[in-house]
Amino acid sequence: MPGSSCLVSFCWLAQISLASSTVACTVTVSQCNCLSIGGYSMIASELAGFASELTIEDVPRAVRDRAVLHLADCLGIAVASTTMDFGESVHRAGTRLGSGQDSRVIGWGTPLPAASAALVNGTLIHGLDFDDTHIEAIHHASAPALASALSVAEAEDASGTDLLLAYIIGVEVGTRLAIAGQGEFHDRGFHPTGILGTFAAVCATGSVRNVSPETMVRAMGLAGSQAAGILELHHSWLKRLHPGWAAHSGIVASTLAEEGFVGPASVFEGDNGLFMSHLGRVPDRTALHLDDLGSHWMTAELALKPYPCCHFTHAFIDAALELREQLLDSGRTLDDIESISAPTSERLIPAVAAPVDRRIAPETIYDALFSIQFAIALALQQGRVDLASFYDQPLDDPAVRRIAALVTCPIDEQSDYPAHFPGEVIITFKDGSVLQKRHASSRGTHEQPLNESEVVAKFRSNVTRRWDEAAAEEVSKTVLEVENLSASQLVDAFCETTGQRGAK
């Protein structure tokens, strides 16, 4: 595979269900041939071929190293989530869904069936909204891919290298499906992470279990009727669940397919398939990046979060923190501010800037996490935006709300969303002077990546919400050695039941 401009080239005999009939055919997928059977371009077949043929040696060393940091980031967040009410809730629910010894839950070490462990772990990884995002795809790529890969890899007694490969495959598949939407999933009220993460989980599961490409195609067909995620979140924990449910559903779909249950191969491009039902159109090959599978690594483009809130707010936080330093250096105070303007991408205003009263004075943590006004106020008032800002301090701090009330969010005419999530803060003082800062992208994106020491510092900060500093340091060293461990050994490091960890 190395050296090929297209890393997807394979042939198999597939049984494909189309229009209530079964067609036996020989399938060849290559860079030049768009697979077409019965009028359908077989997107699932191309993704399955990639997932089943890719080896860890095909993945560039730099991509693998970056993937290890993202894996560590996710597991650190999961540990922090175990201290939260939603984490305890999903853990209790997972234990009631059935007993098993396949895989374990991060933090507690509770053994569960693989699908149930993935449900809990995926929710823990995403629950704080601190996990990574592929910016252009607007997709939390790691959570469903890693939750499924980790649970299945432990169940199958796979190596850490097998786990890492499956995780990378899941990221590459899920991100391609999400990026083709160009923000339209969100526009229509769908959460791509919950929907497209299900197919990522299918491919991650299939990679660990070494299933055939046709089995993976069947599984993706079945996953299409399990893939779900709406953005009607009002005062709920729903969004936190999406990656966990996606990971769970991907494992279930794969298991059904492995036992011969047939799903539609036209799941993506059929008249009633995923894209027509959710977008009203089928993206072309270019939009899906099918021709650069295995040469363009979207894993390397994932953006790590330095702040535990919606990624749409991050560039605004970066700008506000810089302006705070300038403000203080000039001898001014926050009382000198007359108004603050934060030009916002028009399509994002409903998500993070309106309704204005709820963004200025959030009633719930989720309202606060998705508020440009509140994020800017935290940055200016406190000089930091961290977990304590949302979970350890009151949301109704009068000083923060006073600054938030000064923020308006007009339409950003310069925005190139969804290619980037830009942010600009313009502070006008009572004497008429102005401080202004704009960021085309935020810290943590692949344009401004966090380095290893920054990722490790974030990891330790998250882990110490449950365990002490010594345990955090030990496990931070262990997770970076994932390629030299078995999947079970990695999970051991994150489980109190092994006797190696004590709750804080």
Reported as a single tens digit per residue, the pLDDT across 160-169 is 999 999 999 9
Q: What is the CATH number of the domain that holds 92?
A: 1.10.4100.10
Q: Which of 300, 328, 353 is the last residue of a domain?
A: 300
Total domains, the chain: 2
Q: Assess whether pLDDT exceeds 90 at residue 133.
A: yes
Q: Which of 255, 271, 300 is the last residue of a domain?
A: 300
* pLDDT band at residue 5 using 50, 70 and 90 as cut-offs: very low
Same domain, 323 and 273: no
How many angstroms separate the CA atoms of 375 and 201, rounded? 32
Provide the residue range defining the domain that includes 289.
Answer: 40-300
Q: DSSP alpha helices (H): ranges in 129-237?
A: 142-155, 160-179, 184-187, 192-209, 213-223
Out of 31-35, 280-284, 313-317, 411-415, least confident range: 31-35
Q: What is the CATH number of the domain that holds 413?
A: 3.30.1330.120
User: Within a domain: residue 20?
Assistant: no
How many angstroms separate the CA atoms of 327 and 285, rounded? 49
Q: Assess whether pLDDT exceeds 50 at residue 15.
A: no
Same domain, 320 and 246: no
Looking up tokens 């959030």 gives 362
Q: What residue ranges in 402-450 does DSSP mark as E strands?
A: 407-408, 423-429, 434-439
Q: What is the pLDDT of residues 444-492, one digit of tens each?
A: 999 999 999 999 999 999 999 999 999 999 999 999 999 999 999 999 9
User: Could you tell me what percent of the chain has a pLDDT over 70?
Assistant: 90
User: Within a domain: residue 326?
Assistant: yes
User: Within a domain: residue 22?
Assistant: no
Same domain, 284 and 315: no
Q: Assess whether pLDDT exceeds 50 at residue 22.
A: no
Provide the pLDDT for residue 383: 97
User: Within a domain: residue 11?
Assistant: no
Same domain, 339 and 229: no
Provide the pLDDT for residue 181: 94
Across the range 412-427, mean pLDDT stands at 96
Q: How far is CA 420 from CA 70, 117, 140, in A?
A: 20, 34, 15
* pLDDT band at residue 442 using 50, 70 and 90 as cut-offs: very high
* pLDDT band at residue 235 using 50, 70 and 90 as cut-offs: confident
User: Within a domain: residue 384?
Assistant: yes
Kind of pairing between the strands at 40-41 and 36-37? antiparallel
User: Within a domain: residue 172?
Assistant: yes
Across the range 339-353, mean pLDDT stands at 97
Structural contact between residues 190 and 295, judged by C-beta atoms closer than 8 angstroms:
no
Same domain, 287 and 400: no
Same domain, 154 and 243: yes
Same domain, 247 and 317: no
Same domain, 333 and 247: no
Rounded to 5 degrees, what are φ and ψ at 377? -65, -40
75, burial (CB in 10 Å: exposed 0-12, middle 13-18, buried 19+): buried
* pLDDT band at residue 503 using 50, 70 and 90 as cut-offs: low
Q: Assess whether pLDDT exceeds 60 at residue 429.
A: yes
Q: Which of 274, 300, 326 is the last residue of a domain?
A: 300
Across the range 24-43, mean pLDDT stands at 43
Same domain, 153 and 281: yes
Structural contact between residues 497 and 108, judged by C-beta atoms closer than 8 angstroms:
yes
Provide the pLDDT for residue 281: 96
How many angstroms separate the CA atoms of 298 and 396, rounded? 39
Provide the pLDDT for residue 496: 83
User: Could you tell me what percent of the chain has a pLDDT over 90?
Assistant: 89
Residue 371: closest CA among 385, 383, 122: 385
Same domain, 137 and 211: yes
User: Within a domain: residue 343?
Assistant: yes
How many angstroms separate the CA atoms of 28 and 11, rounded? 5
Same domain, 278 and 401: no
pTM over 0.85: yes
* pLDDT band at residue 504 using 50, 70 and 90 as cut-offs: low
Provide the pLDDT for residue 265: 95
Across the range 266-288, mean pLDDT stands at 96
Across the range 397-426, mean pLDDT stands at 97
User: Within a domain: residue 470?
Assistant: no
Same domain, 345 and 371: yes
Across the range 6-24, mean pLDDT stands at 33
